Structure 1
Amino acid sequence: MKPVFTFVTALFFVTIAVAQAPRKVTADKIVGIVGDKIILKSDVYNDILDRQRRGEPVPENADCAIMEQILTLKALVVQAEKDSIQVGDDEIEALLDNQIRGFVNMYGSKEALEEIAGRTVYQIKEDFRQTFKERKLAERMRDKIVENVKITPQEVKDFFAKKDQKNLPFYESQVVIGQITVNPKASRDLEKLTIDELNDFKTQVESGTQKFETLARLYTDDPGSKESGGQYSINRTEKTWDPAFLNNAFRLKEGQVSPVFKSKFGYHIIQMVSRAGDDAIVRHILRIPKITDDEINEAIDKLDSVRAKLIAGTITFGEAVAKYSEDENSKFTGGYLQGPNGSTFLELNQLDKDLVELLGKSGLKAGEYSKPTPYTDERGKKGVRIIYLKTRTTPHVENLKDDYDHLAKDALEIKKQKALETWFESKIPTYYIMIDPDFNACSTLKNWMQYATASNK
């Protein structure tokens, strides 16, 4: 059977593509059945039509590939239900809410989304509720199948030995970096100046002399919303938002402007644009009080003493992160920077500009700590940090010594894939399978077809 372990990711993108054009555009009929789960023609072909409408390339035999993905998902869902795997309604509701927020951001407003879809937000959510639930059940079943699959050092060595040694990949220099950060606090005078400034903006908006979005474009310190006039789509239950921001936003009526309040990012005012239950569209202006040299130097002195303890060995890096670092992500990563895939091995182009410059100027070697250094984060907030260079590789051809972690991860995924293939080979014959003759020419469905033939005799 063809490898199936990547199907969950593939099907996720199929679902999103269909969701961007919610109307059904293909006459439906049942083209497949796995157990008691049916597959509709629209499930397969609407994705292809969506790609064509967006001008994206459609691979040859796309219908065969999509059909295989859906058959795989349905089989996992059937087994998940047999094994009594549960997915909570609250979890599905949160996924649907997140998807709707994505659509609202894409089209600009809830009203625009509903006009394009020809359906209300409630109806759109109901259209995708079962799809999202099945996808989550399939993910849980896949995780259960491979949860006990482990990899040994010998298996990693064997995996590397089987690779074409004349065509091994080349890796640029990579670093593993930890940081301990302190965020200097602005003086009371400068905080008061910031508060007064925001109160003046509030007065201008309420008096009608200025539009909120105009002031946001001119003065907000939030780069993520500056171009959109401070606008965000938010949800009361979403944990990624600052609690103070949510609390102040959902006290407002449409058109109302909040009092000045403080969040972990700085000081804000918010204007409520529109609201539907726990969903809302708001505008905000963020102002970060100015940090002077006095506050920067105070933070440097604090971290100087921390660095001395690290060098003396009276405290470990992990202990110092837990005790002194004010970076929220440190609580989850032990102070180490991570890439989008969760790896701590980063190339220089994945680091912020200040950090690349610091590594170049300081001549920091593996195992050493930098002096406390001021920097500015992506939100424009000033801080001071100590950098710990745990590892630095030189540009090299892949090898066991430098790339063991990469190789172990790849070897583990292949072993999980084989475990899934073995599972499918044992389980698929036990399910009722029906596949429409329209897919008889799909060579990738050969194994499914033989079980379908047996099922229909």
Structure 2
Amino acid sequence: MKPVFTFITALFLCIIAVAQTPRKVIADKIVGIVGDKIILKSDVYNDIIDRQRRGEPVPENADCSIMEQILTLKALVLQAEKDSIAVGDDEIDALLDNQIRGFINMYGSKEALEEIAGRTIYQIKEDFRQTFKERKLAERMRDKIVENIKITPQEVNLHFSKKDQNNLPFYESEVVIGEIVVNPKASRDLEKLTIDELNDFKKQVESGAQKFETLARLYTDDPGSKENGGQYSVNRTEKNWDPAFLNNAFRLKDGQISPVFKSKFGYHIIQMVSRAGDDAIVRHILRIPKITDDEINEAINKLDSVRAKLIAGTITFGEAVAKYSDDENSKFTGGYKQGQNGGTSLELGQLDKELVELLAKTNLKPGEYSKPTPYTDERGKKGVRIVYLKTRTTPHRENVKDDYDRLAKEAIEIKKQKALESWFASKIPSYYIMIDEDFKNCGTLKNWMQYAAAGSK
């Protein structure tokens, strides 16, 4: 049996891929059984058809690989049910709602999705309910099997020693870096100018002189929605949206435009395009009041005094972040930059361009704080920041000293994989297994075929 983690991960991606076209196209028959869990021909081949439809390469043995992934998942689900592992309906509903929002974003509207699928939103959700429940049960069962697995320094060293020492990977320079950010406040006059501008946009749309989406493409300060006319799909229960934005959006009827309001990003107007319960499609125009040199200099002076305290040691970096930083993410990260995987050790290419340039120009060394420096974030919002370089590695070949965390993660994944394989070896022979003759030539299913043959006697 090949690595179980790999199979489960691939299967979850397969489920999502199949979901991109919410309708079945294969004439079904049962091609596998694990205990009382059946596997349909469509479960295997719809993924292949979707890959072909998207123009992606499909390996010759894709059917064998996908069949093994599904057998693995069904076994985990079967055991999860035996162990009374529960997944709540509310949890599955949340996953389904998120998937439907993805579909609506993809196709542009709820109506377009229903037309393409040939089914209502409710029917689409029900089509995927069992699939999503099984995926979550398999995740929980996998986590239960490996929950007590730990790794020791000795095991990390042993893992490294088993690597080909003549072919170790090379890593570029990585940094652990933090920020204390102050966002200057615009003057009252410039804030009023921004509000007046948005009120004028609202009047133009309501009078029929302009379309909302045209004005959004021309004037919004939100780069994430500029190209599609300010449009977003939103759900009022999602916590990643600004509360003021959601509150103003869900007060509107279809076609209605909100008054000008303020969020943490700037000033907005919103147009409701369509709404279905807690889901809605809206357009918005964001305008960020201009920041002048006076406000920038005021923020620099404030952070100059903070930097002096840091250098003098009268306040720690964490304390300064909590007390002075305007960056909302700081409360979760302690002021440190994080990558997509949640780690704080980042390659320079993962930093914003202005931050890379600052490191190059100032020659900041580990343990040092930069002078307060103005910058513009990805949304075009101006700020001033102190940068703290905690650590910086030099480009190097992999070694235990510099890459312990990375090696420990590799080692524990291997240990978990072995634990899963051991679990399967002990459990699978006790299950009833049936595999259709269509898969008799799949070499990767050798162990499963053996159990199937034993179960049929």
Partner of 1:106: 106
* Alpha-carbon separation, structure 2, partners of 1:113 and 1:87: 28
Cα deviation per residue 1:292-329 (whole Å; 9 max; x = unaligned)?
11211221122222212221222222222222222121
The answer to whether the 8 Å contact 2:303/2:386 transfers is yes
Answering whether residue 230 of structure 2 is matched by residue 237 of structure 1, we say no
* Alpha-carbon separation, structure 1, partners of 2:93 and 2:189: 45
* Alpha-carbon separation, structure 2, partners of 1:19 and 1:383: 41
* Alpha-carbon separation, structure 1, partners of 2:182 and 2:90: 37
Partner of 2:418: 418
Give aligned-pair identity as a percent.
Answer: 88
Cα deviation per residue 1:31-60 (whole Å; 9 max; x = unaligned)?
111122111110000110111111110012
- Structure 2 length normalisation: TM-score? 0.98
Partner of 1:190: 190
Partner of 2:162: 162
Deviates more, 1:262-271 or 1:107-116: 107-116
Deviation at 1:8, TM superposition (A): 3.1
* Alpha-carbon separation, structure 1, partners of 2:385 and 2:59: 48
Partner of 1:71: 71
Amino acid at match of 1:100: I
* Alpha-carbon separation, structure 1, partners of 2:325 and 2:84: 43
Deviation at 1:254, TM superposition (A): 0.6
Partner of 2:50: 50
Answering whether residue 445 of structure 2 is matched by residue 451 of structure 1, we say no
Answering whether residue 428 of structure 2 is matched by residue 403 of structure 1, we say no
* Alpha-carbon separation, structure 1, partners of 2:216 and 2:181: 29
Q: Structure 1 stretches (4+) deviating beyond 2 angstroms?
A: 6-9
* Alpha-carbon separation, structure 2, partners of 1:427 and 1:330: 46
The answer to whether the 8 Å contact 2:8/2:72 transfers is no
Deviation at 1:132, TM superposition (A): 0.8
Answering whether residue 392 of structure 2 is matched by residue 392 of structure 1, we say yes
Answering whether residue 339 of structure 2 is matched by residue 339 of structure 1, we say yes
Amino acid at match of 1:147: E
Cα deviation per residue 1:72-125 (whole Å; 9 max; x = unaligned)?
111111111122222222221111111111111112222222222111221111
Partner of 1:329: 329
Partner of 1:373: 373
SS at 2:137 equivalent: helix
Aligned length in residues: 457
* Alpha-carbon separation, structure 2, partners of 1:422 and 1:321: 47
Deviation at 1:168, TM superposition (A): 0.6
Deviation at 1:430, TM superposition (A): 2.0
SS at 1:50 equivalent: helix
Partner of 1:171: 171
Amino acid at match of 1:22: P
SS at 1:5 equivalent: helix
Deviation at 1:203, TM superposition (A): 0.7
Amino acid at match of 2:180: I
Partner of 1:280: 280
Partner of 1:289: 289
* Alpha-carbon separation, structure 2, partners of 1:62 and 1:409: 29
The answer to whether the 8 Å contact 2:244/2:263 transfers is yes
SS at 1:39 equivalent: strand
Partner of 1:301: 301
* Alpha-carbon separation, structure 1, partners of 2:184 and 2:96: 39
Amino acid at match of 1:132: F
Answering whether residue 82 of structure 2 is matched by residue 62 of structure 1, we say no
Q: How does 1:197-216 map to 2 (within 5 A)?
A: 197-216=197-216
Taking only aligned residues, the RMSD between alpha carbons, in angstroms, comes to 1.2
The answer to whether the 8 Å contact 2:368/2:389 transfers is yes
* Alpha-carbon separation, structure 2, partners of 1:76 and 1:452: 17
Q: How does 1:1-12 map to 2 (within 5 A)?
A: 1-12=1-12
Unaligned 5+ runs, structure 1:
none
